[in-house]
Structure 1
Amino acid sequence: MTKLSVNINKIATLRNARGGNVPDLLKAAKDIQGFGAQGITIHPRPDERHIRYQDARDLKSVVYTEYNIEGNPEKQFVDLVLEVKPDQVTLVPDAVDAITSNSGWDTIKHKDFLVDVIAEFKRNGIRTSIFVDPVIEMIDGAAETGADRIELYTESFATEYANGNEQSVIVYAAAAKRAGELHIGVNAGHDLSLDNLKFFKQNVPNLLEVSIGHALISEALYLGLENVVSMYLHRLK
C-alpha cells in the first residue's frame, strides 16, 4: 500500500495568523498519525511564514511514523535537517519568495551540487528524495546523484485531470517505471486530492508514498480531519 504522509504546513499557517498556539501543531501531528496517516511532512521556509524551524525540532519527539522534511538545501536548511535527523529529506528547488513549490530539479545542471548535499545527508542516515518533473532525463539524472527516491511534482497532472485530460498521467507512469528500472523509490506530491488520487495511484507504478497538505487540510474544513485522512487511505488501497 502507498503510504500517506500529511503535510501540516497549513495548520501552522492558521496558527501563525493569530499568534499563540491555536491550533496546536504538535497535537495535530499526533492526531493525524492516530487517524492512520503513515507520515508527517513539513516544509520550513526561511521566512518561517508557516512551519518554524523550532517546530521541526519539536516535532522530532512527536512523529512516531515517518518524518519527512522538505526544502531548498541552503545552509540553514541543511543544518536544521542534520540536527533533527528526520527519516527522509526531500530536496525542493523553490526560491526564497516562492508561494509554493513550482518546479522540479534540473538534475543534470545541478548534478554536482546534489551529489554533495545528498552524500552528506546519507552519511547521517537520512533517506534522500529529489523533487522532479516527470521527465525521463531528469529521472536518469536523479539516479546519478545518489538519491534514494524521487518525488514526482504532480501539479500539471492535477490541473489536466481537473480539465478532463486523463492522458496527463501517462508521462508520470513512464517516469515512475523508469525510476523502478533504476532502483529509485517513487514518491509524489502537489495538488493531489480526494478527486484525483485514486486515479493517479491506479495508473502510476512503484508509488511508495504521497505527500499531501493543502487539499487534505482544505477538505477537512468540510469533512473533518479524521474522516478525510481515512478517505485518503481508502483511495490508496
Structure 2
Amino acid sequence: MKIDFSGKTVVVTGAGHGFGRAISLAFAERGAHVWACDLNARGLSETKSLCKGACETRTLDIADRAAVGDLIAEAAKGRAVDILVNNAGGVRGQVGRPLEEISESDWHSIFDANVTGAFYCIQAVAPGMKQARFGRIINISSRAGLEISLTGIQAYASAKAAQIGLTRQLAHELGPWGITVNNVAPGFVRSNPTTEKQWQSYGEEGQRRLVESIALKRLGAPDDIAHAVMFFASDFAGWITGQVLSVDGGK
C-alpha cells in the first residue's frame, strides 16, 4: 500500500512532541505541506528540524477561537486545508484526585484542550473543505474515551468520550461534501513526559501487569498511531467515516 500526500496541505495540532510529532513527520515524508502547531515552542522547533523543511510551525492555543481561525486562514492561503489532525489534548498537568477536589478551572481546562479546541479547528477548516468538496479530519482520542482512564482523571475520560461523540456527529453533518471524520483511540504509549511519568509511577509490577493485559504483550510507539492516521487520511479510507480505530495492541 503506497500512501502519498504530495500537494496536500495538512494541519496537525499538538505537534511539539509525541504523537503529533510522529504524525507531522509521517505526512512530511509522504510529500505533504505540514503546518505543525503547539503551545510548546521548543518542541515545535525540534519537529521543524526533523521535518527537514517540509513543515511550517506556529505556536497556537487551540482554545483561542480567533487564533485558530487566523492559523487556518494562513495555512489555506486562499484554498482549502486538505487534512486536519486534532491531536492536541492531554491532562494539562493534572493527576487523579477525588471528584470533590476538582475545581471548575481544572474541569474546563481539560475540556478546552481535548474537545473545544478540536471543535474550533474543525469549524475553521469546514468552509474550505466544503467548497473543495473534499476533506479528511482525524481526531486523536484515547481508550479513556471508550472505557475508563488509567489516569483516574474524570475530565479526561469525559472529554475523550465527548470527542468521539463529536467525531460521529460531524461525520454525518459533513459527509455530503465528501469530508470524512474519523477517530484514532491510542492505548498506553510512552510518548511524552506526562506518559513517561505515568509509566514510572506504576513501578515494576504495575508495568508488568499493563504489558500482560495487551494481546501483543508489548507497548506501542508514536509511529503506530501515525500509521493509523495515514490510513484515515489516505484515498484508501475514502468510504470510511464516523469510525473509531483502537490502536492499542489488542485488549
Q: Which TM-score band (shorter chain)?
A: 0.3 to 0.5
TM-score by length of 2: 0.36
TM-score by length of 1: 0.37
